[in-house]
Amino acid sequence: MTTSSKSPNSLKTVLIKLKGIKEYLGAPSMSHTETLQGYNKNRTRKTEIMDDILREEIADLEIEEEEVLTAENALEAIENAWLNEKFSPEILPHKFDLVDCMLQQISHMEENMKRLERDDLRLVVHRMELDRIRFLISSYLRIRLEKIEKYTIHILSEEAGREPDEAYLTPGELRFAKDYLGSVENLFKTVALQHMPISFQGFEIDKISTKPNMQTHVFLRANERITGIVLPGVIDEEIDFEAGSQHIIQYNAIANLVKSGAVQLI
């Protein structure tokens, strides 16, 4: 029986092949290295793009959340402004930035409602909320106009002494007050004054001017702790308000606190 054996040349060929495979696995060729580098670059680029997209989505979510919070805060602020204007005897600094914000919110809600089905329950809820917001805004504006009509001369004289950035009236309200006063003067002259003797035909504004009763009592809730409130008509007597406490007091004692937001009329 003969035993087959490989020739030295065959063994040498096998060793050369094994060495080549080992070198290939241990040290990649230039083309293979370039391929890996290109793959890593593409992978890094894709990761950067995904990170950018994720950051943009997070930013959009944060912006939407801020808008929702802003709308909620604006609604709460306009409710507080409405209550203060309703229960204060004088006209307060205007809050038309809040009014504009809520009008934009109404337009946004109306656009969203158009995408709802007619039998969708959310449509009814949104309509009720819109009616509530419209009532707040219209009532707030109506109360201010009623005060302007009632205390026109007093309001205009007070407004004339304020700086533009401290004005209580908007340009539209100021124009309305002046036009209203002109209409009243024209009415007096047409109906009565022109039929009187010349010495009585003068239109004396001061004699028909009325002022709000600043000594009227109001109910309030303190939004923060307040110390050193002087009671009108009482010598050297001061009281303190605790945060959340409710009181009844003359308006002129807390008028500045209402305007600063330290107390809320209720």
Domains of the chain listed by start with CATH number: 71-211 (1.20.58.1030), 213-265 (3.40.5.60)
As separate numbers, helices (DSSP H) first and strands (DSSP E) second, the chain gives 8, 5
Strand partners, 247: 220
C-alpha–C-alpha distance, residues 140 and 152, integer Å? 18
Instruction: Extract the tokens encoding 192.
Output: 């009565």
Q: Which residues contact 155 (CB under 8 A, 6 or more apart)?
A: 91, 147, 148, 168, 169, 177
Is-contact 178 119, C-beta < 8 A?
Answer: no
Going residue by residue through the chain (266 aa), what tens digit of pLDDT does each one get?
444 444 445 444 544 444 444 444 444 444 545 544 554 555 555 556 555 555 554 555 444 444 444 678 888 999 999 999 999 999 999 999 899 888 888 888 888 888 888 888 888 888 898 999 999 999 999 999 999 999 999 999 999 999 988 999 999 999 999 999 999 888 888 887 777 787 777 777 777 889 999 999 999 999 999 998 988 776 768 889 999 999 999 999 999 999 999 999 99
- The pLDDT of residue 55: 59
- The pLDDT of residue 263: 96
- The pLDDT of residue 160: 92
C-alpha–C-alpha distance, residues 241 and 227, integer Å? 6
